[in-house]
A and B are shown apart, each in its own frame.
Chain A
Amino acid sequence: MGKVIGKAVTRVEDMRLLTGQGKYIDDIGTPAQTFQAAILRSSSPHANLVSIDTAEAEKVSGVKAVITGEQVKKYLDPFSVGVSAPVHYYPIAVDKVRYVGEPVAVVVAKSRYIAEDAMERIKVKYEALPPVIDIEGSMEEDAPILHENVGSNVANHRTFHYGRVDQAFEEADRVIKHKYLFPKYTATPVETYGIIANYESSENQYTVHANFHGPFVIQAIMAQALKIPSNKLRIIVPKDIGGSYGIKAGTFPYMVLLSVASRIAGCPVKWIEDRQEHLSASSSGTDRVTYIEAAVKNNGKVTGLRMKMIDNVGAYIRAPEPACLYRTHANSTGAYDIPNLHIDAYAIMTNKLPTGLIRGYGGQELYFPLERIMQRVAFELNLDPADVMRENLIKKEQFPYKTASGGMYDSGDYMKGFELALKTGKYEEFRKKQEKARKEGKILGVGLACIVEPSGSNMGYITVALTPEERAKSLPKSGCSEAATVSMDPMGSVNVRISTTPSGQGHETVAAQIVSEVLSIPADKIKVVAELDTSTSAWSIASGSYSSRFASLGSSAVFYAAHKVKDKLMKIASHQMKVSESELELRDGAFYEKNDPTKKYALKRAAGSAHWNPLSLPEGMEPGIYETYYYSVKAAEPPDENDLINSSVTYGFVADLVTVEIDPDTGEVRILDYVTIHDAGKLLNPLIVDGQIFGGLAHGLGGALYEELVYDNKGQLLTGSFMDYLCPTAPEIPNVTIKHIETPSPMTPLGAKGLGEGNTMSAPVAVANAVSDALTPYLVEIDTLPLSPNRIWTLLNQAKQNKNKEVTV
């Protein structure tokens, strides 16, 4: 057995998925007498619930129960939230509806067809209230209030002051500022939410199968809402999840709703979300307004930043929000050496779908204003944007680099990555081409973006939403624990159990690679079990699939668990062979004496002894081979009294160069080339790595050019189907070049960092910078997305009209 970690091996998951034998939530079968649920949803964005008449619906043959918020409320407490504002969030409307799509009633029936028939017979009376949709409008004094007991629409507000911000701005040659709006968009996995919930009164226990992927801290939040001890809420995650990109963290309100529906109806209940429900009422990314100001020297050096960020968390703030504001807190200054930073952070509520995790979470919202302002600095100082970025990038010798807000960038060589992007994308050559093209009436542009990709979230970062005084009242939170179990059965076969709930990232493959290398067993002999069961798996509150944490944390837990097994087997072999451990080496499935390779002891035999012949084991050793390792990183400390927080464990780097051509007649943006350079430390499986990067990039391009959850000014959702919500398809994906540099992370045993979200963070602003660059002659500022033909055409025509006016004046 040679090196396996780092090899581009094909995936163990593929065979079952290609032959129709995947086991997704809708494929796993249900307990006897399981009924199907359909959910009636609010058609009004903001209204008092006057009455719900369910009589006619209950008469429909095959209907088991029709359940409203009033009934559900009896079994629930509101979900706890990580802010001090007293927002009462239930998984179903109880007195008011606050967004279009909010659950109003649940019908439980023999089939989904019957449930939907009955749903149409429910009569709901609404008393309409004025809605509030606009982010800043929600903060105005006369704005309609969503939650009367909160008293305003502000769910969270914090200010942070790092370094000498005022001094930096006083001493600046210039202050360059602008307002940017990052829109609300989403993830749309092709598999929607799915839940099978079963309440057993004999044990007062809920068992819930769901395509929920953590963070499993939400298990505690669900149990608390259900008013039961947490071991009475058993969550089982199927081994296959049909994509998530973060959004399936948002299944949890429905898991609780269906749990209570099962209790009231007295039978197991299954619900598979449909696409319209998904777009209107699952979860989404956060739309953010940012006012950004940069203190700048004449050479382009940025010495300080002020950012006022206002996140729209939708109708209710719910876990893990307001995390979108804080996930990137440590890397708020991105890839740049900017020591002085002021942040004024708000989470506000409007009559839109509540938000949650989406691939890139917080990154795209942060880097859109940050990388736009860097380009603007170059523009206003008449410098090349590449030179401004060079002036500000953190230098190699500065690592490990401490950021203004408390981050510890573990490793990197940003200049090398950036120069490689410029070289690969032929930046200088393109500038010449662009000049020539402009003379011919063509509109060409090049966009650059450098971003830091955080991975492996520190569980302490979310408490930054509270003031140091508020935090002091409860136990500190820290770490980023993940668990893995490696066991060997009496025949020497290996099972690996992981708690990283993959949704397509190939964790089974990579876990098998790692264990294969450590135990010197062929990877195809190793079985990785990806199902998570909160009653039988080793897991922690941090477990799950989010913040790109498998490569940094999950893989580390697997690595150390395999080592625990190896160490135990080594002890057994040493005892049996009567040779010290230091004289043994493990290769090709056996322990060999280093000095006398003719003497060996098979791994399988060592395992066999632990099961069949425990009396032969060294004194005091437990029988069996079953080792669990819980991994965390010391660098994930709780926030300190100055709000310094290292919000992630590892920090990768992405440098993008994108070239575009804009059609002057239609405003359509065509991407000519996309170059992306990644440094994610040591790569565990390059085949999977590039797949992750392509997927993240496609999502980023969607955000740049196509995707938006659009609401009209009355609060109605206008993009409730795939005919209106546009996801990129194959012809929309441009020519892409991916290159890697590897500076191993000193934080993780394998040197790996998380990846796959980087281009979702970088592509929206990289494309915006390219479009802005292309439109420089028209003096057009790109300050929102997506860059649809309609938007560009309007901007172009306004610019042309302005020019004409100038001429006539």
Chain B
Amino acid sequence: MSLTEINVTINGKAYAEWVEPRMLLSDFIRETCGLTGTHVGCEHGVCGACTISMDGAAVRSCLIFAVQADNREIKTVEGLACNGEMTALQKNFVECHGLQCGFCTAGILMSITDFLEKNPQPSTKEIKETLSGHLCRCTGYDGIVKAVQKTVQDNQKEVLQRS
């Protein structure tokens, strides 16, 4: 099969690679770029494990071809922490026991990071609705919902302190 050259920026680093047009973006991220933090759980867009951020929007990387990411900016779970310092959301996943096996976690972090940027003060119902795009079979979602709620509260406190 013929190859196509693509240029993709992932977590601030430029990747120029030749790929088959049929290669999934999830496979490209994991196998070509070696970023194994993004996980593949169903390859039909239901479980949400492979969610990444592309040009600032959370998307399923198993439903996108690598060639569609040409000239795009991607962020994966490896790009969330900054200089070894986890984000508030990540820290709250620790505090609230928002993960067990951790396999679905990367996708959830990417979705919720995008969600909170666009909707900084969501209701619990909105949080749960956003999470409905992700399957977690370990936690029963309780710790995840609490981690997101706590992040919202922390952010509000920070805003109040600043004002």
Q: Does A associate with B in a complex?
A: yes
Q: A residues within 8 Å of B by Cβ?
A: 10-11, 13-15, 17-22, 24, 26-27, 113, 187-192, 240-243, 245, 272, 274-275, 503-506, 687-688, 690-699, 721-723, 727, 729-731, 733, 736
Distance of A741 Cα from B66 Cα, bound (Å):
53
Closest to A192 in B: B41
Chain B nearest CB: distance from A608 CB in Å? Answer: 31
A sample of 15 inter-chain contacts (CB < 8 A) reads A17-B102, A18-B109, A20-B37, A187-B137, A190-B47, A190-B101, A191-B39, A687-B97, A691-B142, A694-B139, A697-B140, A698-B141, A727-B135, A730-B134, A730-B144
Q: Which residues of B contact A736 (CB under 8 A)?
A: 140, 142
Q: Which residues of B contact A20 (CB under 8 A)?
A: 35-38, 76-78, 106
Q: Which residues of B contact A13 (CB under 8 A)?
A: 102
One of B53-61, B115-123, B125-133, B155-163 contacting the partner: B125-133
Distance of A638 Cα from B160 Cα, bound (Å):
65
Closest to A114 in B: B1
Distance of A190 Cα from B101 Cα, bound (Å):
9
Distance of A363 Cα from B138 Cα, bound (Å):
19
Q: Is the CB of B43 within 8 A of A21?
A: no
Q: Is the CB of B42 within 8 A of A722?
A: yes
Distance of A731 Cα from B22 Cα, bound (Å):
35
Does B64 interact with chain A (Cβ within 8 Å)?
no
Q: Is the CB of A722 within 8 A of B102?
A: no
Distance of A723 Cα from B47 Cα, bound (Å):
10
Q: B residues within 8 Å of A by Cβ?
A: 20, 22-23, 30, 35-44, 46-47, 49, 76-78, 80-81, 86, 90, 93-95, 97, 99-106, 109, 125, 127-129, 131-145
Chain A nearest CB: distance from B146 CB in Å? Answer: 10
Q: Is the CB of A691 within 8 A of B138?
A: yes
Interface centre among A24, A693, A699, A731 (most CB of B within 10 A): A731
Q: Is the CB of B140 within 8 A of A731?
A: no
Q: Which residues of B contact A695 (CB under 8 A)?
A: 100, 137-140
Distance of A190 Cα from B129 Cα, bound (Å):
19
List 6 additional A-B contacts (Cβ < 8 Å) besides A688-B97, A733-B142. Answer: A15-B86, A26-B30, A189-B101, A691-B138, A692-B100, A729-B133
Number of inter-chain CB pairs below 8 Å: 177
Distance of A240 Cα from B136 Cα, bound (Å):
16
Chain A nearest CB: distance from B43 CB in Å? Answer: 6
Q: Is the CB of B135 within 8 A of A722?
A: yes
Chain A nearest CB: distance from B54 CB in Å? Answer: 17
Q: Is the CB of B143 within 8 A of A694?
A: yes
Q: Which of A24, A26, A690, A698 contacts B97 (CB 8 A)?
A: A690
Distance of A723 Cα from B145 Cα, bound (Å):
23
Chain B nearest CB: distance from A444 CB in Å? Answer: 23
Distance of A578 Cα from B123 Cα, bound (Å):
66
Q: Is the CB of B86 within 8 A of A691?
A: no
Q: Is the CB of B86 within 8 A of A18?
A: yes
Q: Which residues of B contact A699 (CB under 8 A)?
A: 137
Main secondary structure of the interface of A (DSSP, over half): loop
Q: Is the CB of A188 within 8 A of B97?
A: no
Q: Which residues of B contact A694 (CB under 8 A)?
A: 139-143
Closest to B101 in A: A504
Q: Is the CB of B44 within 8 A of A723?
A: yes
Q: Is the CB of B42 within 8 A of A19?
A: no
Main secondary structure of the interface of B (DSSP, over half): loop
Q: Is the CB of B103 within 8 A of A243?
A: yes
Interface centre among B20, B41, B44, B80 (most CB of A within 10 A): B41
Chain A nearest CB: distance from B19 CB in Å? Answer: 11
Q: Is the CB of A730 within 8 A of B97?
A: no
Q: Which residues of B contact A692 (CB under 8 A)?
A: 100
Q: Is the CB of B99 within 8 A of A190?
A: no
Given A242-B39, A691-B97, A22–B129 Cβ distance below 8 Å? Answer: no
Q: Which residues of A contact B129 (CB under 8 A)?
A: 730-731
Distance of A264 Cα from B11 Cα, bound (Å):
42
Distance of A690 Cα from B96 Cα, bound (Å):
11
Q: Which residues of A contact B30 (CB under 8 A)?
A: 26
Chain B nearest CB: distance from A557 CB in Å? Answer: 22
Given A11-B97, A695-B137, A733-B140, A240–B102 Cβ distance below 8 Å? Answer: yes
Distance of A275 Cα from B125 Cα, bound (Å):
29
Q: Is the CB of A19 within 8 A of B43?
A: no
Distance of A440 Cα from B77 Cα, bound (Å):
52
Q: Which residues of A contact B136 (CB under 8 A)?
A: 190
Closest to A692 in B: B100
Q: Is the CB of B43 within 8 A of A17?
A: no
Distance of A242 Cα from B37 Cα, bound (Å):
12
Chain B nearest CB: distance from A779 CB in Å? Answer: 34
Given A190-B137, A729-B132, A11–B94 Cβ distance below 8 Å? Answer: yes
Q: Is the CB of A723 within 8 A of B46?
A: yes
Task: Rank and list the top 5 A-B pairs by shortest CB-CB distance, nearest first.
Answer: A20-B37, A17-B102, A504-B101, A242-B103, A694-B140
Q: Which residues of A contact B125 (CB under 8 A)?
A: 731
Q: Is the CB of B145 within 8 A of A242?
A: no
Closest to A189 in B: B137
Q: Is the CB of A19 within 8 A of B100?
A: no
Q: Is the CB of B145 within 8 A of A730?
A: yes
Distance of A730 Cα from B47 Cα, bound (Å):
12
Distance of A333 Cα from B159 Cα, bound (Å):
58
Q: Which of A14, A730, A731 contacts B94 (CB 8 A)?
A: A14
Q: Is the CB of A242 within 8 A of B102?
A: yes
Closest to A698 in B: B140
Q: Which residues of B contact A274 (CB under 8 A)?
A: 43
Chain A nearest CB: distance from B144 CB in Å? Answer: 7
Given A190-B49, A722-B135, A736-B142, A691–B95 Cβ distance below 8 Å? Answer: no
Q: Which of B77, B101, B132 contacts A730 (CB 8 A)?
A: B132
Q: Which residues of B contact A14 (CB under 8 A)?
A: 93-94, 99, 102
Distance of A731 Cα from B132 Cα, bound (Å):
6
Q: Which residues of A contact B93 (CB under 8 A)?
A: 14, 18
Q: Which residues of A contact B40 (CB under 8 A)?
A: 26, 272
Q: Which residues of A contact B35 (CB under 8 A)?
A: 20
Chain B nearest CB: distance from A273 CB in Å? Answer: 11
Distance of A15 Cα from B76 Cα, bound (Å):
16
Q: Is the CB of B131 within 8 A of A19?
A: no
Given A18-B105, A504-B100, A727-B135, A275–B44 Cβ distance below 8 Å? Answer: yes
Q: Which of B23, B36, B94, B95 contacts A113 (CB 8 A)?
A: B23
Q: Which residues of B contact A22 (CB under 8 A)?
A: 37, 102-103
Distance of A189 Cα from B36 Cα, bound (Å):
18
Given A274-B43, A722-B46, A17–B135 Cβ distance below 8 Å? Answer: no
Distance of A197 Cα from B131 Cα, bound (Å):
36
Distance of A467 Cα from B40 Cα, bound (Å):
46
Interface centre among B43, B128, B135 (most CB of A within 10 A): B135
